[in-house]
Amino acid sequence: MDKPFNFQVDVRDLQILALSLFLTIGLTQGFDFTIHPNQILTAIVVTLITQYLANRFLKRQETAALISRSALITALGLSLLLRSTSLIVIAIAACCAILSKFLIRYRGKHLFNPANFGIIAVLCFTEQAWISPGQWGDSFSLALLFVGIGGVILSWLGRWETTIVFLIVYALGIAFRNLWLGFEVDILWHELTSGSLLVFAFFMLSDPRSIPDHPLARVIWSSAIALLTLILKYQFFLATAPFWALFFLSILTPWLDSVWQGKQFNWKTTTYSWGENNHETAKL
Amino acid sequence: MKQLNFKSILIAITVIATFIFNTPAASAFCGFYVSQADGSLYNQASQVIIARDGNRTVLTMANDYQGEPKDFALVVPVPVVLKQEQVQVQTPEIIKRIDNFSAPRLVEYFDDNPCQTQRRTLNDSAPRPEGAQQAPKAPPSDDALGVTVEEQFDVGEYSIVILSATESQGLETWLQNNNYNIPDGASELLQPYILQNLKFFVAKVNLEDYNPEEFTNLRPLQMAYESRRFMLPIRLGTLNAQGNQDLLVYILSPKGQAELTNYRTVKIPSDVDIPVYIKEEEIFPEFYQSMFKNSWEEQNGKAAFLEYAWDMGSCDPCSARPLNPEELKQAGVFWDDSSVFITRLHLRYNRDLYPEDLRFQETPNRKFFQGRYIIRHPYRGEADCPEAKDYYQKVYNRQQRNAKNLADLTGWDLEEIKQAMDFVEIENKQSSPWWQRIFD
């Protein structure tokens, strides 16, 4: 008991665990994801290699980690959302996702959520990719799982308002539409428990490295995304509306950051000591 | 008071995409199709063909209406005003053809003589196509207020009006005043469509022109329109339905497989070996229904089942001859490109499970899938070589597994299944351990 046992926790480890859990559920619990383990492997390998090479040659780092947490998160996010029958398309998406972090930047931040960028890139430029918005269905227990785990991670990150505001504005939008159309309440419920919507809201929308820095800016930004999602979904009948809304409105982030300046987000790792009460948090 | 004899209604707007196709993955199985579980199995089943490419859609609604022609009414929300040239009646055969072509199938194989080293697989087949289903009909309403008759024409045995309305009570009243047989409460369901600026395709039977001798059933209605909406209205159909309704949607696209975007789409269990007696006692349809019910319950009713996804130029094994160009045209295929990918979705729905209309999307996914169930006949000839013993042991084990498969898929009782089966004779047959009766 002389030496306290220390272990470090990075919130991204939790994210990786959570996304892996969802992927496992999707693959094994009869959800019939049209995804093959090869595709997941491709996404992981390509994101890791791209990240490594970009660190070495674009960022000119002398030494770069082989396993990058954020690249893994991007790979898992792509695997959860993107569907294709071609490994090449998956590889292109993974590569574009990571490169967008290095090439499309402003003030030291990347402009787009990497997985979102990768998905939009292959949706636009290949004929062989799609998203299955219905893949999770509207199960209440799954919704609870997504909200529970997502909530823990977001409160740890301190970026929960982005997701909450998005969901509130989106829910209000649907509620008003339902009221106007005379739909029953269960339609609202059906829409809000959509697994795909919740995964998007908790695990893609709130990427702390690309969203606006100031809380007020984030509230405005995510409200705008929710509104654009509603418009694309109900006026343009676009089933993949949230991804397009996030993509287009990410372009506003630099402007929002210039109007409301906030503290830029940095990943932290928390060291816990076994048997001691204190823990310390370090910036990465 | 009107009788509510009419069934429900369906409608749809859709999208299709065409696509060219790499022809038959012809190498595959040598099993032949022997039986199928087609749409005629289900009581309250509707069948709809949606051919869609881009925003262009041809929607064919089968009609299985069984009541008096004078009581028939069909109300379908449509995205645009349809003119007479955009509507026609289609031969009921086409629905039957598509149904038979895409129905889940039973295939069989025969084991070779284990004493002959060369192993080959033989197959037998006995196709047995069957019938089609229909789309439900529509509700009437009563006030003339705010209702505009956009178009009015006769097509085949139907009199059709295309209405736009500003207010649902008015629409309901208009329909009732004009002798459309519509259930009470329809206005509540009509209102959302009015507000979304949809029009109403309203049909009844033109009694003057209808000759019951000529058609035993009302023919399917087919309409062509252009709209971004790729959806199928099912809400009106739930209004006066008792219990669950089955819906078979055949989506024809040049691009690839279609799926639902607001509900889950899952594959029906497939490629499973089941006992031979399923064929010999001709209970494949019963098997399929039990299995479907079982799978549906496992998903809590909240998933559409993919039963078939294939390029229409081929099939393997074929449960029916592929459709020729003329038949494809009848099914609504309007694109030049000869490639047509068919997706067959089977839903069992009711108001509570499916509160929203169905929304679809087509995907570039061209992977083939079919509901396919396999039986393997053991070699029944003389075989007394040393290998035979080993062979029969294997067959016996296989039969045990197949019995278990069948029980798992259908929920039927394992012991009863085993009693129905004709197990091969083996030496030292170990009866199953005593504890399996309760531990299995």
Question: Which residues in A lie closer than 8 A to residue B231 (C-beta atoms)?
Answer: 237
**pLDDT attached to residue A274:** 54
CA R_g for chain B: 25
pLDDT digits (tens, 9 = 90+) for B231-253: 998 888 777 666 788 899 999 99
Which of B167, B261, B306 is the mutation pick for testing A, counting most A CBs within 10 A? B261
Query: Quick one: pLDDT at residue B384?
Result: 79
> Does the distance separating the beta carbons of B230 and A133 come in below 8 Å?
no
DSSP for chain A, written as a single string: --SPPEEEEEHHHHHHHHHHHHHHHHHHSS---S--HHHHHHHHHHHHHHHHHIIIIIS--SS--SS-HHHHHHHHHHHHHEEES-HHHHHHHHHHHHHHHHHSEETTEESS-HHHHHHHHHHHH-SSEEE-TTTTTT-HHHHHHHHHHHHHHHHHHT-HHHHHHHHHHHHHHHHHHHHHHT--HHHHHHHHT-HHHHHHHHHTTT-TTTS-SSHHHHHHHHHHHHHHHHHHHHTS--TTHHHHHHHHHHTTHHHHHHHS--PPP--EEEEEETT-S-EEEEE-
In 3D space, the residue among B289, B235, B300 whose CA is nearest the CA of residue B75 turns out to be B235
B55 pLDDT tier (thresholds 50, 70, 90): very high
Partners of residue B48 on adjacent β-strands: B61, B249
Q: Over chain B, what is the mean pLDDT?
A: 78
Residue B105: which domain range?
32-375
Of B3-17, B273-287, B302-316, B344-358, give the lowest mean pLDDT range: B3-17
Backbone dihedral region for residue B156 (phi beyond 0: left; psi -120 to 50: alpha; all else: beta): left
Q: Which among B263, B359, B366 has CB closest to A85?
A: B366
Is B123 a residue whose pLDDT tops 70? no
Residue in A124, A130, A131, A185 to test binding to B, most B beta-carbons within 10 Å: A130
- Cβ contact, residue pair A180, B366, below 8 Å: no
**Both A126 and A188 in a single domain?**
no
Q: CA-nearest residue of chain B to A197?
A: B262
Residue B8 lies in a domain: no
Mean pLDDT of A53-57: 87
Residues A147 and A106 in one domain: no
Distance between CA atoms of B180 and B203, rounded to whole angstroms?
Answer: 8
Average of per-residue pLDDT across A123-147: 91
Cβ-Cβ contacts under 8 Å, A186 against chain B: 352, 355
Whether residue A108 is found in the same domain as residue A209: no
pLDDT at B114: 84
Buried b (16+ CB within 10 A) or exposed e, B106-138: bbbbebbbbeeeeeeeebebebbbbebbbbbbb
Shared domain check, A14 and A124: yes
CB contact under 8 A, B266 and A129: no
Residues A127, A148, single domain; the answer is no
Domain that holds residue A252: 140-259
pLDDT at A281 over 60: no
Task: Evaluate whether residue A274 is within a structural domain.
Answer: no
Contact B191 A85 (CB under 8 A): no
Phi, psi of B32 (to 5 degrees): -105, 160
Q: Decide if A277 is inside a domain.
A: no
pLDDT band at B346 (very low <50, low <70, confident <90, very high): very high
Helix, strand, or coil (residue B20): coil
* Domain match, A195 and A166 both: yes
Average pLDDT of the residues in A199-225: 88
B148-159 mean pLDDT: 90
A63 min Cα distance to partner chain B (Å):
41
| A164 shares its domain with A197 | yes
* Pairwise pLDDT comparison (A200 vs B235), residue with the higher score: A200
**Average pLDDT, rounded, for chain A:** 86
Residue B293 lies in a domain: yes
Q: Is the model's pLDDT at B354 over the cut of 50? A: yes
Residue with the bigger pLDDT between B361 and B209: it is B361
Q: Is the dihedral of CA B275, B277, B279, B285 positive or negative?
A: negative
In total, how many domains does chain B have? 1
B-interface mutation test, from A90, A132, A231, most B Cβ less than 10 A away? A132
| Largest distance between two CA atoms of chain A | 68
Write the ipTM: 0.86
C-alpha distance from A274 to closest chain B C-alpha (Å): 44
Note whether A88 contacts B: Cβ–Cβ < 8 A.
Answer: no
Which tokens is B123 given?
A: 């197959």
**Distance in Å, alpha carbon of B103 to nearest chain A alpha carbon:** 20
- Is residue A271, in this structure, part of any structural domain at all? no
pLDDT tens digits, B380-422: 888 778 888 888 888 999 999 999 999 999 999 999 999 888 8
The pLDDT tens digits for B369-378 are 999 999 999 8
CA A71 – CA A48 distance, rounded (Å) = 6
**Residue A135 to residue B356, Cβ atoms within 8 A:** no
- Report how far residue A44's alpha carbon sits from residue B186's, in angstroms, rounded to the nearest whole number: 53
Decide if A30 and B298 are in contact by the 8 Å CB cutoff. yes
pLDDT for A140 beyond 50: yes
More confident residue, B27 or B112: B112
CA distance A148 to chain B (A): 22
